[in-house]
């Protein structure tokens, strides 16, 4: 019964991730692709080693390729978020399924994307030295991992502090702890600045803002869609599974 509930949530999470991915895809195509094209045009105008054989044409990269990347990403994060939701439901506080899903999606946007982005922002083609890719990849994933683990730790600490400080103050203290440790990570992890000389600043700015928009839309759409689906899935499970519980608690109240 419980295992079936987890499976239902997982399937709905992946579905919600796919739907959110479609929204994100629209944003990526409209806002992001023009910046990618401009960056590639800059790259071709300024480098002589590139411009060999194209394995995949630009038009395929910008349409089917982009769709594959964004939709698979949506399904994957949807599945992981649904599993996290299964753990979080009823454990993080007095939140129903929709509120839990919204909070989880907001927290995921901040920890999975925003926090790593502020240290290692997304770069368009032609920004970044190919020789440092190993280092950049390791640092980026380290930052994502650190941010997610710290957020989980902060949630547990907040939960522990709640009986003593009250929910609000405990959440503020835990959030402050998260910010301080992330600040230390920002300070001590190496910074990257591999911008080619004379790369257009406006293009870099627009590209980075468009990646932020893609993620914001993805997580917002996911939180709302999954919250709706989870509420329906759990609503029917609760009504079918524990009908006797409200009745037994209602009768002592009736006698008092």
Q: Which of 22, 103, 125, 152: binder of another protein (CB under 8 A)?
A: 125
CA distance 162 to 181: 20
User: Do 224 and 37 meet the contact criterion of CB atoms below 8 Å apart?
Assistant: no
Q: Which of 23, 117, 178, 222: binder of another protein (CB under 8 A)?
A: 117
Residues 143-162 interacting with another protein (rule: CB under 8 A) = none
| 138, two tokens | 């390791």
Nearer to another protein, 167 or 177 (CB): 167
Nearer to another protein, 95 or 177 (CB): 95
* Cβ at position 154, least distance to another protein in Å: 20
Q: Which of 83, 152, 181, 185: binder of another protein (CB under 8 A)?
A: 83
User: Do 123 and 237 meet the contact criterion of CB atoms below 8 Å apart?
Assistant: no
Cα 201 to Cα 35, 123, 197, 204, 207: the distances in Å are: 12, 12, 10, 5, 10
Distance of CA 127 to the CA centre of its chain: 24
Question: What is the x/- site pattern for another protein, positions 175-194, by CB under 8 A?
Answer: --------------------
| 193, two tokens | 């600045």
The most distant pair of C-alpha atoms in the chain lies apart, rounded to whole Å, by 86
Residues 8-47 interacting with another protein (rule: CB under 8 A) = 10, 28, 32-33, 36
Q: Which residue has the tokens 């997304």?
A: 122
Q: What is the DSSP letter of 112?
A: I
Taking contact as CB under 8 A, which single stretch among the options 57-65, 163-171, 174-182, 221-229 is the one that binds another protein?
57-65
Residues 194-223 interacting with another protein (rule: CB under 8 A) = 207, 210-211, 214-215
Using the rule CB under 8 A, is 89 a contact of another protein? yes
Q: Which of 187, 202, 240, 249: binder of another protein (CB under 8 A)?
A: 249
């Amino acid at each position: 019964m419980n295992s079936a509930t987890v499976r239902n949530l997982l399937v709905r999470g992946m579905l919600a991730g796919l739907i959110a991915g479609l929204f994100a895809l629209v944003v990526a195509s409209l806002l992001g692709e023009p910046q990618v094209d401009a960056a590639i045009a800059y790259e071709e105008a300024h480098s002589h080693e590139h411009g060999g054989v194209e394995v995949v044409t630009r038009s395929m990269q910008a349409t089917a390729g982009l769709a594959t990347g964004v939709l698979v990403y949506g399904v994957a994060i949807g599945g992981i978020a649904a599993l996290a939701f299964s753990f979080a439901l009823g454990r993080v506080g007095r939140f129903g399924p929709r509120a839990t899903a919204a909070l989880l999606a907001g927290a995921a946007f901040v920890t999975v994307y925003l926090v790593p982005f502020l240290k290692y922002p997304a770069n368009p083609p032609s920004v970044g030295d190919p020789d440092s890719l190993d280092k950049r990849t390791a640092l980026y994933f380290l930052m994502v991992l650190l941010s997610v683990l710290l957020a989980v730790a902060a949630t547990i600490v907040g939960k522990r502090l709640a009986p003593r400080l009250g929910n609000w103050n405990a959440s503020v203290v835990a959030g402050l702890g998260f910010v301080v440790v992330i600040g230390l990570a920002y300070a001590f992890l190496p910074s990257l600045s591999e911008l080619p000389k004379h790369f257009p600043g406006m293009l870099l700015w627009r590209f980075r803002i468009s990646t932020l928009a893609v993620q914001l839309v993805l997580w917002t759409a996911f939180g709302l869609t999954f919250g709706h689906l989870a509420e329906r899935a759990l609503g029917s499970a609760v009504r079918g599974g524990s009908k006797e519980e409200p009745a037994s608690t209602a009768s002592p109240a009736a006698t008092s």
